[in-house]
């Protein structure tokens, strides 16, 4: 199974500052045929189901604010929030959908400093 | 409006069984693969099982549930199911039904399964 390791586990950031979350895969999750990376990012606020933010590593889901961006390829990926807002306090998960089981990272708790 | 509504959770003793259901609406159910994801209290997300679209001929399970859980679907009823047998304390979790479009682009609110004597 593919293992995804997120860092850090917890991230305190001041309002208006940049937040960066990393996700490292135990194997390459890019398709050589189209150079797409099967990596998604989700936001889970307390008491809510997760919400899709980013898919194919860098494509923003419809309706997601443009302060959220995804980057990376192969085994190393990053979710960046350019200017933290209060409503961004949540746990963030990466997930690979390259091969089943479509494993998740352990989560990163983003909080206000 | 897309909706996924889970049901069937509850309290069950170790070794017991439960059948979860997920009623889908607002989209063409048969066109999508569907999955179950669970979240133990205070813990992260765990992918449980996936069934392909159409006739559901491609099925996968997490190692933690393989041989005990069975996923199925009824496209005529727009429904997804998870039969859970030989339940253990570590299966206690909120179980989400979700729509799989590669990434998971829609989630239900979940149904809580508690395994305890």
Mind listing the pLDDT tens digit for each residue in A17-59? Answer: 999 999 999 999 998 788 899 999 999 999 999 999 999 999 9
**Cross-chain residue pair B107–A61, CB shorter than 8 Å:** no
Percent residues over pLDDT 90 in chain A: 96
Which pLDDT score is estimated for B63?
97
Q: Using CB atoms, which residue from B50, B63, B103 is nearest to A40?
A: B103
Q: In Å, how far is B43's CA from the nearest CA of chain A?
A: 8
The answer to whether B72 faces chain A, any CB pair under 8 Å, is no
Mean pLDDT, residues B63-79: 97
CA distance A20 to A77: 10
Chain B residues whose CB is inside 8 A of the A51 CB are: 107
For chain A, give the mean pLDDT. 97
Chain B residues whose CB is inside 8 A of the A50 CB are: 45, 96, 104, 107
Backbone angles phi, psi at B108, to 5 degrees: -80, 180
Which pLDDT score is estimated for B117?
96
**Cross-chain residue pair A95–B103, CB shorter than 8 Å:** yes
The answer to whether B60 faces chain A, any CB pair under 8 Å, is yes
Q: Is the CB of residue B34 less than 8 Å from the CB of residue B73? A: yes
Which pLDDT score is estimated for B54?
87
Sequence length of chain B is 117
Which pLDDT score is estimated for A101?
96
Q: Is the CB of residue B108 less than 8 Å from the CB of residue B9? A: no
Chain B residues whose CB is inside 8 A of the A42 CB are: 45, 104
Nearest CA in chain A to B95: A49
Mean pLDDT, residues A86-113: 97
For chain B, give the mean pLDDT. 97
Mean pLDDT, residues A58-87: 97
Chain A residues whose CB is inside 8 A of the B44 CB are: 91, 93, 104-107
The span from the first CA to the last CA of chain B, in angstroms, equals 40
Which pLDDT score is estimated for B27?
97
Mean pLDDT, residues B38-44: 98
Q: Using CB atoms, which residue from A1, A52, A100 is nearest to B50?
A: A100
Backbone angles phi, psi at B102, to 5 degrees: 90, -85
Mean pLDDT, residues A57-82: 97
Q: Percentage helix, strand, coil, to 5, in chain A?
A: 5, 50, 45
Select the residue from B5, B94, B103 to test the A interface by mutation, using most A Cβ atoms within 10 A: B103
Which pLDDT score is estimated for B22?
98
Q: In Å, how far is A100's CA from the nearest CA of chain B?
A: 7
Mean pLDDT, residues A52-75: 97
**Cross-chain residue pair B45–A104, CB shorter than 8 Å:** yes
Residue B79 clears pLDDT 90, i.e. is over it = yes
């Amino acid at each position: 199974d593919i293992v995804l390791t997120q860092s850090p586990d917890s991230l305190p950031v001041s309002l208006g500052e940049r937040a960066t979350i990393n996700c490292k895969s135990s194997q390459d999750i890019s398709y050589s045929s189209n150079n797409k990376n099967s990596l998604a990012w989700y936001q889970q606020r307390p008491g809510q189901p997760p919400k899709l933010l980013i898919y194919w590593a860098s494509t923003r889901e419809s309706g997601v604010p443009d302060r959220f961006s995804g980057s990376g390829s192969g085994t190393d990926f990053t979710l960046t929030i350019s200017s933290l807002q209060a409503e961004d306090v949540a746990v963030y998960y990466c997930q690979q959908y390259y091969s089943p089981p479509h494993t998740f990272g352990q989560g990163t708790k983003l909080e206000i400093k | 409006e897309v909706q996924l509504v889970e049901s069937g959770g509850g309290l069950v003793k170790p070794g017991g069984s439960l059948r979860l259901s997920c009623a889908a609406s607002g989209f063409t159910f048969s066109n999508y693969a569907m999955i179950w994801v669970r979240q133990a209290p205070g813990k992260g997300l765990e992918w449980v099982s996936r069934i392909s679209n159409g006739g559901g001929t491609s099925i996968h399970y997490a190692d933690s549930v393989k041989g005990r859980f069975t996923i199925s679907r009824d496209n005529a009823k727009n429904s997804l199911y998870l039969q859970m047998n030989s339940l253990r304390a570590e299966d206690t979790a909120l179980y989400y039904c979700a729509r799989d479009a590669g990434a998971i682009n829609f989630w239900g609110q979940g149904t809580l399964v508690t395994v305890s004597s």
